[in-house]
Amino acid sequence: MIAWIDAASGASGDMLLGAVLDAGADEELVQQAISAVAPELIDVSVVRVRRGGLWANRARVEAADSTTHRGLGDVVALIRDAQLDHDVARHAIDVFEGLAAAEATAHGVAVDEVHFHEVGALDAIADVVGVCAGLVSLRLEAVHCSPVALGSGSVMTEHGLLSIPPPAVALLLQGAPTYAGPAEGELCTPTGAALLTHWVSAWGAQPSMTVTMIGTGAGTKDFPSHPNVVRVFLGTPHSPPHSQALVYETNVDDLDPRLWPAIMQRLLEAGASDAWLTPIMMKKGRPAYTLAVLLPTERAAEIRQVVYAETSAIGMRESLVGKHALDRDTHEVTVDGQGIRVKVAHRQGHVFNVQPEFEDVAAAARVLDRPVKAVLAAAITAASRWWDGPERRRDDS
């Protein structure tokens, strides 16, 4: 099971707690974890409220007023002394360590000198431990999240009046997609940012999934402009799975066309999945080519380097695409003693394509001093057994 968080209205600890509980997290386990970590009496209650016309869970954490400013060591000690489930404790500690590191960087102090102030209060500790306990109980394989609404304007903190997003939130979500959002005010709190940063492994639109449960958590305020909620979508990834890939495109009208074969080979050697040219006509009737390169996202830097170094392009268009592919195996047949690789494409026992590698066919033809078409025909005949299905494959001896 995977989760996708809709943070279009921001995120806070209590909003995430309400959403996770509404999505089916083990409420008894969450309450036990929160009670165990609190040095004083603390209670969690969930009520149904309306936010902008939507029903949502409002998680209320009620704790005694405290003026204690706890540091990272104090919070970690509370969590460790609570004898929580190992995974719950590990996640909760990691969340607070990330928050402490952001606060230390923002204010120019050592991590052990950070006092959490607002987020060191018992209700914030309960939020973090509760969310971690709830997500652990859901046994998720991955957590995805939309771009996060941060809010705008300013907010009063222990450090005085700060612009939104405050420094810790900005640092925690550095590298994640964020924007101002639908209303003024602080939409994403430090606790919410720390939880998202720790749990989310991928950012962006909802992934391809079959949704089985939706949990909605309410914020304290009820804005007239939008529903102040966080939604958590639970479900299973679609099958068959597909991967994401990049397509780079650039138009080139001033390159000697004799260079293109070598460029295409260099792109493939650099990790491109495929590369192709399309003849086009540009302005003023100039003939040109569109170079397109399909590549795994992790090879982007290498491919850009090849395009800039080997062509006259000074820019490229980038598109993120979904990529579906059959399962493929490579085996070998022999033609008059020459080995030729055969690519077999299949899925769930059904073979869709059997094709000898043409480069091997051409090389064998040169060694045998035979026409390429004759060696290709012999290789296709020898490879015909693979049409019976992957379970009957065997190599030639």
Residues 6+ apart with CB under 8 A from 39: 78, 122
Among 237, 269, 290, the domain boundary falls at: 237
Domain final position from 200, 221, 237: 237
User: How far is the first Cα of the chain from the last one, in angstroms, to the nearest whole number?
Assistant: 45
What confidence tier does 131 reach under pLDDT thresholds 50, 70, 90?
A: very high
Report the share of the chain in percent with pLDDT over 90: 65
Q: What is the pLDDT of residue 310?
A: 96
Tell me: do 260 and 343 sit in the same domain. Answer: no
pLDDT confidence band for 396 (50 / 70 / 90): very low
Q: Which residue's structure tokens are 């030639």? A: 396
Specify the pairing of strand 202-203 against strand 185-186: unpaired
* Whether residue 172 is found in the same domain as residue 312: no
Q: Is 397 contained in some domain?
A: no
- Lowest average pLDDT, out of 7-11, 167-171, 234-238, 311-315, goes to 234-238
27 and 126 fall within a common domain: yes
The predicted model gives 63-88 an average pLDDT of 82
Which one has a higher pLDDT value, 239 or 45?
Answer: 45
- Per residue in 342-390, pLDDT (tens digit) is 999 988 778 999 999 999 999 999 999 999 999 999 999 999 988 875 4
Q: What is the CATH number of the domain that holds 297?
A: 3.30.70.1380
269 and 147 part of one domain: no
Alpha helices for the chain (secondary structure H) = 13-22, 27-37, 72-81, 86-107, 122-138, 167-172, 190-199, 260-269, 300-310, 358-368, 372-382
| Domain final position from 210, 237, 264 | 237
Task: Pull the structure tokens for residue 343.
Answer: 């690519």
Q: How far apart are CA 368 and CA 373, in angstroms?
A: 12
294 contacts 325 by C-beta, under 8 angstroms:
no
For residue 243, which phi and psi values (nearest 5 degrees)? -105, 165
Could you read off the pLDDT of 222-248 as tens digits, one per residue?
A: 999 899 999 999 999 775 556 789 999
In the numeric block, the tokens 């936010």 are attached to 51
pLDDT in tens, 173-211: 998 999 999 988 999 999 999 999 999 988 888 988 899
- 315 is in which domain, residue-wise? 243-323
CA distance 320 to 247: 6
Read off the pLDDT of residues 298-307 as tens digits, 9 standing for 90 and up.
899 999 999 9
What does the pLDDT read at residue 395? 42
Same domain, 303 and 387: no
At 155, the pLDDT band (50, 70, 90 cuts) reads confident
Q: What is the DSSP string of 36-84?
A: HH-SS-EEEEEEEEEETTEEEEEEEEEE-------BHHHHHHHHHHTT-
Q: What percent of the chain has pLDDT over 70?
A: 92
Q: Which amino acid is at 5?
A: I
The tally of domains found in the chain comes to: 3
Average pLDDT over residues 313-341: 90
Verify that 156 and 256 share a domain, yes or no: no
Q: Write out pLDDT tens, residues 76-116.
A: 998 999 989 999 999 999 999 999 999 888 878 888 777 66
Q: Which of 110-124, 283-297, 325-339 has the lowest mean pLDDT?
A: 110-124
Q: Is the dihedral of CA 83, 88, 93, 99 positive or negative?
A: negative
Q: What does residue 178 show for φ and ψ, rounded to 5 degrees?
A: -135, 160
Alpha-carbon distance of 7 to 188, in angstroms, equals 9
392 pLDDT band, cuts 50/70/90, is very low
